Copies of this chain bind each other. A is one copy, B any other.
Amino acid sequence: MATTPTSPDPSPDPDALAPAFSPLYQQIKGLILRSLQAGEWKPGDMIPSEFELAARFRVSQGTVRKAIDELATDNLLVRRQGKGTFVATHAEQHIQFRFLRLLPDQGTLDDQGPAERRIIDCRRLRAPAEVARPLGLRSGDAVLQVRRVLAFGGTPAILEEIWLPGGPFKGLTLDTLASDTGPMYALFESRFGVRMVRAAEKIKAVAADADAAQRLSVPEGHPLLSVERLSYTYNDTPMELRRGLYRTDARHYRNELS
């Protein structure tokens, strides 16, 4: 590790086509990532200082810094000057809505108070094919399905259907969810050790069917935003499939392009 920066790290797979050359700081990044996955440092924890990590990995502080820089821009770590570097968590006020992009058309911030949550049901099912595939499961594997409605100021705004793999979320019940206040992703961290790191969404415009119309208090056929989200944990492992129907009469989905 202290030799040339691009040492391929004596690995198996000698006849592989992959170049597998990577800069030292990328290797360090990988090592830190492994510690995160292994739970050596939990969400909210402070990780060792840059100098400590530099000593542990036998590299200079600047190299550790660059690794941490990237992990911080990926939102896996949070740097706080004068205090230390911390494992990112969903249990923070200003991070609450990192994955919820629905904002009111009017009005300043989302200081309309938090969303009111009403859980419809929470069932243990066998995964249909179209749910199993994106989650990397096999059809028929055990999954949890949660359905709920989010409302703002008494007006229903979101109808969601959440699919979770049965293994990692063993023990999740309606009571667990109902008795919990705070972000659902924070619950996943504290109770199941599952941290959502990134997500991809597919958005369409659809017409409300009878059930959705009733639950969202709109006429049948009313245009709704369909948001299908696949969320990933550390190793790009998909861990949640979420289908949401958003009312967009008084709200909009905000997106920044750059």
Contact = CB atoms under 8 A, between A and B. Distances in A.
A31 interface: no
Given A197-B258, A221-B221, A253 B75 contact: no
A256 B200 CA distance: 4
Interface in A206-234: 206-207, 221, 223-226, 229
Given A199-B257, A203-B254, 17 more contacts: A74-B258, A198-B258, A199-B256, A200-B256, A200-B257, A201-B256, A203-B248, A203-B255, A204-B248, A204-B253, A205-B205, A205-B206, A205-B223, A221-B221, A225-B225, A229-B257, A255-B255
A252 B253 CA distance: 14
Among all A-B residue pairs, the 3 with the closest Cβ atoms: A205-B223, A204-B248, A205-B205
Report copies per complex.
2
A252 B74 CA distance: 25
A136 to B, nearest CB: 19
A94 interface: no
A87 to B, nearest CB: 16
A199 B74 CA distance: 21
Contacts of A207: 223
Interface of A: 73-75, 98-99, 101, 197-207, 221, 223-226, 229, 246, 248, 252-258
A202 B251 CA distance: 9
A243 to B, nearest CB: 13
B197 A225 contact: no
Contacts of A254: 200-203
Given A221-B221, A258-B75, A252 B202 contact: yes
Contacts of A253: 202-204
Identify the interface centre among A75, A207, A255, A256: most chain B CB within 10 Å of its CB: A255
A242 B133 CA distance: 36
A101 B207 CA distance: 21
Given A221-B221, A223-B223, A224-B223, A257 B201 contact: yes
A190 to B, nearest CB: 21
Given A221-B221, A223-B207, A223-B223, A257 B202 contact: no
Contacts of A229: 257
